[in-house]
A = this chain, B = another copy of it.
Amino acid sequence: MGLNVYLSGEIHTDWREQIIDGAQGLDITFTGPVTDHDASDDCGVAILGAESDKFWHDHKGAKLNAIRTRKGIADADVVVVRFGEKYKQWNAAFDAGYAAGLGKSIIVLHGPDHQHALKEVDAAALAVAEEPRQVVEILRYVLTGKLPD
């Protein structure tokens, strides 16, 4: 058994690298969104032409990014959704909902202070973790049956 794991959400810390590094040796293919913030914001107009209205500037970019995120989530066995300390992060919650609508196994990763605000997201998950290390331990257990020492 191998796993496809999509890493959704916060892009300002190195949590993805921690998980990918920690999971070395496991049969896992990781995917995720474009994490270059500027490229992600401007991709639409950079490729398809400038927009004078900021709404359409954002709209064109968000749709290009959707080609990648939909594919990644649709192909995933497990979707990990990380909520950081800052920003609205509505796209992370949207991804969690989208994954739930497709019946994916969801792991939510957030600090204890977000617990009440994320209760609906957590309720749709099979695990709620606080640290990237725990996500690695879950993935290792799922694939090998081995618990951390």
Contact = CB atoms under 8 A, between A and B. Distances in A.
Interface in A22-73: 31, 34-36, 39-40, 42-44, 46-48, 51-56, 58-72
A62 B123 CA distance: 6
Contact of A47 (B71, B97, B134, B145): B134
Contact of A101 (B48, B56, B102): B102
Interface size class, chain A: 35 or more
Nearest to A72: B1
Between A36, A99, A122, A147, the greatest number of chain B beta carbons within 10 A of the residue's beta carbon is seen for A147
A69 B126 CA distance: 12
A116 B41 CA distance: 9
Interface string A92-121: 111111111111010100000011111111
Given A42-B147, A52-B52, A96-B94, A126 B78 contact: no
A67 B122 contact: no
Given A101-B97, A138-B47, A122 B62 contact: yes
Contacts of A12: none
Interface of A: 1, 3, 31, 34-36, 39-40, 42-44, 46-48, 51-56, 58-72, 75, 77-78, 83, 87-103, 105, 107, 114-124, 126-129, 134, 137-138, 141-143, 145-148
